[in-house]
Structure 1
């Protein structure tokens, strides 16, 4: 499959999973010294070759559609984790809802409730609010003191990177589920995965997790 085929497939998968309402969200893939990204205002479930913007690694347009305003966010994610070649940004219901709450801990807005989120994503810091498309969003990604594969953008949604698009999409779906479970258990006495087990899972799967805080 070509990079464009991968973007089309990723867009459809995100819509089918209910994570991209309307024309919200954007996806990109890094291919050599170029970034291919869904264009502004496109519906991810109906992407075609004419809907793809081609950028250089600094986010400058080279050809194709007009790029999404979230270019600074994607560029910063690639700069932060050079081995990752795909980025997904969504306004999915549960990630947006959790991004509107105070975070569970400084290193992760999402508590360790299920092994699957730990295995696929690890910790999920909450980044401060910046208006959509603001270059400050890229600065927040770069300056976050915690390692991460996925983060929540305050009052906005989620951003996730992966070694390829299928991996980034799967991790985004898992993050949405983890946020849904976080909401379902909010305000109750939670049974969290024990710190030693969190450490074992994240080490085994190579996902980031910082020192666990004693938060319920």
Structure 2
């Protein structure tokens, strides 16, 4: 499974959805999850950069797991997700800063069809507040944007979460350019 996590990490970096050392990826396997280590380069993931931790509560390996482990736990505990991709997509972050409402409605037809409304949630990085807010948003949406921080996308498999990440960023890019053109 670490190879699939590595493959998705490389795609995230190669496609400009995240800088190498930002973001994290996880997969649920029963009552455990495999999650990237804190600070690992997503385009250089090896077997020892993926940590197995409990979904149900903290464990000793939390010290080296992603700083967002608590958030992944909350999502797995409150949604049917089996895979999560968290990326720092530049247009999604930008729109979260510019948007005055609590969600982004895509302007493009694909975004409207596949995503619908994308919630913007708040909370500190790796905080219980963020974990609760994001889990609540992802209970009824497959994607969400953390204000000033990045995207979370869920799926039954990593490829689905990755594709949703690309869709959110694409829709945010289109909306940014569209909104900019409307102002002229």
Q: TM-score, normalised by structure 2?
A: 0.89
Query: Helix, strand or coil: the match of 2:152?
Result: strand
CA contact (8 A) 1:54 1:62 kept: no
Cα gap change, 1:86 to 1:113, in 2 (>3 Å): same
1:139 to 132, 152, 156: 132
Gaps of 5+ in 1: 191-216
Query: If each structure's helix is expressed as a fraction of its own residues, which one has the higher value?
Result: 2
| Residue deviations 1:151-180 (CA, integer Å, cap 9, x gap) | 111111111111110010011011101111
Residue matched to 1:199: none
Residue matched to 1:202: none
CA contact (8 A) 1:125 1:146 kept: no
Q: In structure 2, how many angstroms separate the alpha carbons of the residues matched to 1:34 and 1:70?
A: 15
Q: In structure 1, how many angstroms separate the alpha carbons of the residues matched to 2:44 and 2:138?
A: 37
1:86 to 75, 83, 90: 83
TM-aligned CA deviation for residue 101 of structure 1: 1.6
Residue matched to 1:100: 97
Confirm whether residue 152 of structure 1 aligns to residue 149 of structure 2.
no
Residue matched to 2:25: 27
Residue matched to 2:73: 75
Cα gap change, 1:65 to 1:120, in 2 (>3 Å): farther
1:116 to 110, 126, 134: 110
Aligned-residue Cα RMSD (Å) equals 2.2
Query: Helix, strand or coil: the match of 1:152?
Result: strand
TM-aligned CA deviation for residue 184 of structure 1: 0.6
Q: Which has the greater radius of gyration?
A: 1
Q: In structure 2, how many angstroms separate the alpha carbons of the residues matched to 1:34 and 1:118?
A: 34
Q: In structure 2, how many angstroms separate the alpha carbons of the residues matched to 1:182 and 1:59?
A: 39
Q: TM-score, normalised by structure 1?
A: 0.77
Dislocated runs of 4+, deviation >3 Å: 61-65, 142-146, 187-190
